């Protein structure tokens, strides 16, 4: 229903499209940009000049490759000069990074996270990592903001962490706390870790160029980041993608959320450890130990992996029927489980999924690995820059 854009909006859109192109695809010549963006050469030249003046890109003459004529200038994102702060709060670890334009991790810190640490104790740890990294930042750089990935339900309007049962957070304003540390001029965006990983894999990973993707992320809990029609599915309040709380077993165990038989009670960390006879263990290492034991022939561990793999395929089948995605990506411990129990996953998926929904779906592991949450958190911050490059 929107009317067409004004000249000023078009210029903003063109600047954003050009900057996004080199941010995602890396350095490329003006000639390549002209063809990729469908704009004429003089427009590309003017846009590039504006972005270069703002310090967001640089231009250089490429090394001659023996072709006649003047070579097309190469446009490069200023990765070292333009950066975002990225943070990730997962059940067992905290990470912080400085990520340059173009998605380059320039610096990073990993911190263990004892389970049970509240937000008031977490924020200073993240702020401490930030202070350390800030000392190494050269003068004259541009910070576009900060992004935080959190394993919990995040309110879209203000980034409040409504509920993160496995970190014990309820209504924690982690974004505001960190903003105090960063200074009022630095915008902070908070989002769910599965959404953030999906965003990263969609921008520059396994799901690049795919319009309908489910990124399943699991550790103790299970959630999904969903790309539908090329865009992130957030839901009304920002809580969309809570697939771990799809009830799959009415007679199942009690879930942290208060319901019974949620999918995460069948495929989360505790489900596997319990089925493997290791109810006292916890953490990613413990999950990997069960998978390793299954690999070495331990019958109980094998049965546990098969059982949980079957439930994994079951829920994926439901989601495939609901979303008709072209790709499902298994992240966090779901990656390890999927790789260990691919036969069970596939078999149950095939029995639950409708054939039309199954015919084009690919099952994949993440391409960005451990960096996905940080790269995605930085993307949250870069979004603002890309929407209006000269305003930021």
Task: Kindly state the smallest distance separating residue 369's Cβ from its own copies, in Å.
Answer: 24
Q: Which of 250, 280, 297, 299 binds its own copies (CB under 8 A)?
A: 250
Q: Does 159 bind its own copies (CB under 8 A)?
A: no
Task: Kindly state the smallest distance separating residue 224's Cβ from its own copies, in Å.
Answer: 8
284-295 helix and 299-323 helix, angle to the nearest 10 degrees: 110
Of 11-19, 135-143, 192-200, 298-306, the segment contacting its own copies by CB under 8 A is 11-19
Total residues contacting its own copies by CB under 8 A comes to 68
**Residues constituting the chain:** 392
CA–CA gap between residue 65 and residue 63 (Å, rounded): 6
Question: What does the per-residue mask of binding to its own copies show for 298-337, with x meaning CB under 8 A?
Answer: ----------------x--xxx-xxxxxx-----------
Comparing CA positions, the residue from 199, 197, 242, 130 lying closest to residue 383 is 199
Of 48-56, 275-283, 353-361, 363-371, the segment contacting its own copies by CB under 8 A is 353-361
Helix residue ranges, H only, the chain: 7-25, 30-37, 41-53, 119-134, 174-182, 193-204, 263-267, 269-275, 284-295, 299-323, 333-340, 342-352, 355-358, 372-387
Interacting positions 59-98 with its own copies (CB under 8 A): none
Q: Which of 153, 178, 194, 305 binds its own copies (CB under 8 A)?
A: 153
Q: Which of 55, 62, 124, 235 binds its own copies (CB under 8 A)?
A: 235
CA–CA gap between residue 182 and residue 174 (Å, rounded): 12
All residues at 6 or more sequence positions from 126 whose CB lies less than 8 Å from its CB, including other chains = 87, 89, 94, 96, 178, 181
Q: Which residue number, 212 or 282, has a Cβ lying nearer to its own copies?
A: 212
CA–CA gap between residue 125 and residue 117 (Å, rounded): 11
Task: Kindly state the smallest distance separating residue 357's Cβ from its own copies, in Å.
Answer: 5
Q: Which residue number, 130 or 196, has a Cβ lying nearer to its own copies?
A: 196
CA 152 to chain centre: 13
Q: Which of 27, 31, 248, 303 binds its own copies (CB under 8 A)?
A: 248
CA–CA gap between residue 355 and residue 342 (Å, rounded): 19
Q: Contact at 8 Å (CB) between 97 and 374?
A: yes
Note the residues at the interface with its own copies (CB under 8 A): 1-5, 9-14, 17-18, 20-21, 24, 37-39, 153, 155, 162-163, 211-212, 228-229, 231-243, 245-250, 257-259, 314, 317-319, 321-326, 351-352, 354-357, 359-361
């Amino acid at each position: 229903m929107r009317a067409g854009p004004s000249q000023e909006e078009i210029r903003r859109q063109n600047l954003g499209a050009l900057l996004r192109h080199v941010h995602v695809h890396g350095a490329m010549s003006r000639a390549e940009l002209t063809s990729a963006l469908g704009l004429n050469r003089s427009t590309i030249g003017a846009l590039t000049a504006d972005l270069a003046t703002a310090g967001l890109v640089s231009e250089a003459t490429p090394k001659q490759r023996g072709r006649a004529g003047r070579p097309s200038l190469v446009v490069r994102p200023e990765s070292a000069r333009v950066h975002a702060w990225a943070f990730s709060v997962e059940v067992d670890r905290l990470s912080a990074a400085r990520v340059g334009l173009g998605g380059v991790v320039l610096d990073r810190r990993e911190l263990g996270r004892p389970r049970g640490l509240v937000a008031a104790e977490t924020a200073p740890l993240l702020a401490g990592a930030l202070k350390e990294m800030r000392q190494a930042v050269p003068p004259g750089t541009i910070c576009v903001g900060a992004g935080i990935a959190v394993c919990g339900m995040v309110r879209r309007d203000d980034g409040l962490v409504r509920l993160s049962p496995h970190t014990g957070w309820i209504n924690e304003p982690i974004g505001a706390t960190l903003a105090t540390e960063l200074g009022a001029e630095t915008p902070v965006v908070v989002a769910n870790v599965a959404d953030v990983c999906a965003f990263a894999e969609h921008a520059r990973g396994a799901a690049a160029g795919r319009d309908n993707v489910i990124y399943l992320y699991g550790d103790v809990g299970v959630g999904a980041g969903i790309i539908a029609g090329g865009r992130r599915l957030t839901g009304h309040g920002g809580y969309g993608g809570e697939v771990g709380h799809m009830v799959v077993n009415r007679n199942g165990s009690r879930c942290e959320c208060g319901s019974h038989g949620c999918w995460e009670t069948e495929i989360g960390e505790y489900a596997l450890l319990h089925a493997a006879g290791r109810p006292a263990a916890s953490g990613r290492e413990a999950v990997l130990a069960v998978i390793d034991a299954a690999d070495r022939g331990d019958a109980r561990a094998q049965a546990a992996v098969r059982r949980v793999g079957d439930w994994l395929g079951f829920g994926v089948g439901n989601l495939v029927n609901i979303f008709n995605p072209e790709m499902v990506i298994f992240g966090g411990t779901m990656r390890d489980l999927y790789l260990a129990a691919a036969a069970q996953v596939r078999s149950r998926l095939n029995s639950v999924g409708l054939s039309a929904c199954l015919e084009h779906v690919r099952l994949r592991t993440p391409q960005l690995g451990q960096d996905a949450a940080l790269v995605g958190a930085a993307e949250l911050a870069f979004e603002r820059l890309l929407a209006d490059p000269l305003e930021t």
